[in-house]
A and B are shown apart, each in its own frame.
Chain A
Amino acid sequence: MLVYGALLADAIVRAPAIAGATAAVGGIGLLFLALVLWRGSQEYLPAAAACLGGVYAVAVVVHGASVDERAPLVAAGLLLCCELAAWSADERTRIAAERPVRRTRAAALAALVGGALAAAAVVVALGAAPAGRGLAWTIAGAAAAVLVVALAVRAARS
């Protein structure tokens, strides 16, 4: 909740012009997150992430043309927020877990978030680097998007 609140505050500060709408949508996301934590169900987690991600996207677009260097931090923070909420939901069942079990998950989570931060940083760095524009790049981007959508469909079916 703290991480989510911090990211929401950052988005509000980034675009004061639309602070009201940002706060409203972020608040809905916060409600979704509270629902996840209250019910111990992860079904509403993507909705919570989508709300904050949408708020951030609008704030970035409204903010201006310059590249936001804090984007990797925001992205990794959002993932961290989701994973912590999912962990909390998993721990709802009263199962006495030994210490190595928790250590393993903490280590895996740290690795995932660290890797995500690094990957997002690389993406931002690559985006800032001068590169060619044109049809090939657009096709490559579209292919990447289609690949992710396919992955999403496969994950949903499994």
Chain B
Amino acid sequence: MDVKKIAKLAHIPITEKEEETLTKGFHATLKVVDMLFSVDVKGTQPTSQVTGLENVLREDVIDGSRQFTQEQALANAPRKHNGYFVVDQILEDD
């Protein structure tokens, strides 16, 4: 497992030192997980939800009860400007 590559994909900043400890840790974890592969899963479907629910849908109505004011939306923002959230300039186009 390429720790540097994964850290990049996951947008997790890591130092050189962390790279080392993380690699060791992952090997240990994956070893524990290894036991999974001794199980015969032939013909078994994966479960991504245990509820068995289907078709849980919502009517197309405006629900203002959860809607934030601009102030509420921005209240915890580290940086804001004229009602917008702010990030450093993004150079490439969308």
Do A and B form a real pair? no
